[in-house]
Structure 1
Amino acid sequence: MPSAPEEVPLTGGNVSAGVVRVGDTVRRPAGPQTPAVHALLRHLHAVGYHAAPRPLGIDERGREVLTFAPGTILWPDRMALLDPADRLAGAARLIRDYHDAVADFTPPPDARWRPVMPADGADLIAHHDLAPWNLVVDEAAGSWILIDWDGAGPGTRLWDLAYAARGFVQLTANPAYRHPDPLAAARLRTFVDAYGLDEADRRALVPLLGRRTRAMHDFLRDRAAEGVEPWTTHWNTGHGDAWLGDAEYIERRVELWTAALLD
């Protein structure tokens, strides 16, 4: 009998337990959200958006099966790939293309979603974790693939974009990743210009940058108080402090962001 394919554990991200690579596929625990997420991914590929894994069903062990995205995750060691303005703009366009591709998606009538926290509205199915730790880049093939769609669910463009800006632009108090204020403002302008926000949405985005970041701190605090994993571990290892520090950094610079986006 042929031997069973080798299963290679995949690490990284915040919730990777039980995620393995088998050949050119990824196997991960399925959940109530899996049928809706697979419907979303099938829709994206059907309309020509290929910067996401393709769903391949459920395996004999009840795990969801997705195509494997070759390459490396940007966070934390390859963030320099986003230093050139055209690369940062490319990340923003990838997100805009997703939002445009999902705009006409009709979820299954029995869809169940598992977003981490409620959004500020529901004008589309948002990814909810658009960040460098969920972007796989294959330099040789020239492919950029967004992964970890399990948290997708109702949300808004700006809710998704505010979260993405914090990570991709590096709006952070962490000195290891923080840019000088003028450069951070210029990077935010590059990101938002590439996404293509109009003036009204730019004005709405600025206060949301801090609010969306602070919401992650509050979420971790509340889940840790309830003893819910993996969020309790994240809180106990300082993730909450990091999100709070970033929120305060962003909120202190509201005038800078406003001037960068509107002047």
Structure 2
Amino acid sequence: MPCGLLRHLCLVTAHDLGRVERIGETVHRPVGPWTAAVHGLLRHLEAVGYDQAPRVLGFDEQGREVLTWIDGESGPDGWAKVIDDRGLIAFAHLLRDYHDAVAEYRPDESTCWSTTTAGAVGDEVVCHGDFGPWNVVWSGDRPIGIIDWDHARPAPRRHDVAYALEYVAPFRADTECLRWLRYPEPPDRRRRLEVFAGAYGLTDIAGLVDAVITVQEQDIDAVRRLAEQGHEPQATWVAEGLLDELRARVAWSRANRHLID
């Protein structure tokens, strides 16, 4: 769910898909049933001194949440940052650092997130839920922030790892990698998966391809349910045929797992 693509519009979005707006050094974003949960998460990160997430400043006169702006490159610019090994490793380190910072956060089981009502159980953490290149802010070749936390929710750490790997292995055809994702040549997906997993701290990559496919399937269900509830931009995405595209991505992953597994 590439919600982070909205960030660098820096003005009221077309089709009123969320009225995300930058005003000075703040970002004003629409709220949802999950906003209180996300604010609790962001306040926890602030309390433990984690400085790579926006700070909660309150609400504006339109009822939108107000967060601090993290200055740097993100959105479409983020894709180019993870092409070489240095960027890919930094991206993995960023995710691991976040997971470690949030490990002790135990929200109540009645906490309402975008796709579930739950607290963290066992060794689960509150995952970012949308950890893709577009949702990382970069200063040069250094990642300095994670944005767009609307889809945070408790899950095993591997959920965020698998979600990220779909986009940075990537689980995409060579033509898409070359035309849209900034790759100068077809990627060695297996090696990139190993580099990311090792940088994150995994000692075993067994099951990661299946985990990515599972997350892709879960994403289809999440987008569909959010659209049925009338949330944007999912409602517009579904109306424009995104579910068919997501199903095609799953089919590609299943048919081409030999490139990665």
| Bin of the TM-score, shorter chain as denominator length | 0.7 to 0.9
Please give the alpha-carbon distance, in whole angstroms, between the structure 2 residues aligned to 1:9 and 1:184: 36
- Contact 1:39–1:108, Cα closer than 8 Å, also in 2: no
Q: Aligned pair 1:244/2:231, yes or no?
A: no
How far residue 78 of structure 1 moved from its aligned partner, in angstroms, is 4.9
How far residue 222 of structure 1 moved from its aligned partner, in angstroms, is 6.1
Q: Which has the larger radius of gyration?
A: 1
- Contact 2:79–2:134, Cα closer than 8 Å, also in 1: no
Assess, with a 3 A threshold, how the Cα gap between structure 1 residues 237 and 188 changes in structure 2: closer, same or farther.
Answer: same
Please give the alpha-carbon distance, in whole angstroms, between the structure 1 residues aligned to 2:228 and 2:34: 25
Please give the alpha-carbon distance, in whole angstroms, between the structure 2 residues aligned to 1:61 and 1:174: 44
- Structure 1 residue aligned with 2:7: none
Q: How high is the TM-score relative to the length of structure 1?
A: 0.78
How far residue 9 of structure 1 moved from its aligned partner, in angstroms, is 1.6
- Contact 2:46–2:55, Cα closer than 8 Å, also in 1: yes
Q: How high is the TM-score relative to the length of structure 2?
A: 0.79
- Total equivalences in the alignment: 243
Assess, with a 3 A threshold, how the Cα gap between structure 1 residues 149 and 16 changes in structure 2: closer, same or farther.
Answer: farther
- Contact 1:185–1:256, Cα closer than 8 Å, also in 2: yes
| Counterpart residue identity of residue 133, structure 1 | W
Please give the alpha-carbon distance, in whole angstroms, between the structure 1 residues aligned to 2:17 and 2:74: 14
Q: Aligned pair 1:183/2:185, yes or no?
A: no
Give structure 2 stretches of 5+ with no counterpart. Answer: 1-9
Q: Aligned pair 1:171/2:176, yes or no?
A: no
Assess, with a 3 A threshold, how the Cα gap between structure 1 residues 223 and 126 changes in structure 2: closer, same or farther.
Answer: closer
- Contact 1:117–1:219, Cα closer than 8 Å, also in 2: no
Please give the alpha-carbon distance, in whole angstroms, between the structure 2 residues aligned to 1:177 and 1:125: 30
Identity %: 37
Q: Aligned pair 1:46/2:47, yes or no?
A: yes
- What is the aligned-residue RMSD (CA, Å)? 3.1
Assess, with a 3 A threshold, how the Cα gap between structure 1 residues 257 and 60 changes in structure 2: closer, same or farther.
Answer: same
Greater CA drift, 248-257 or 215-224: 215-224
How far residue 82 of structure 1 moved from its aligned partner, in angstroms, is 1.4
- Structure 1 residue aligned with 2:6: none
- Structure 2 residue aligned with 1:192: 197
How far residue 79 of structure 1 moved from its aligned partner, in angstroms, is 1.9
- Contact 2:13–2:19, Cα closer than 8 Å, also in 1: no
SS in 2 for 1:27: strand
SS in 1 for 2:172: coil
SS in 1 for 2:195: helix
| Counterpart residue identity of residue 217, structure 2 | R
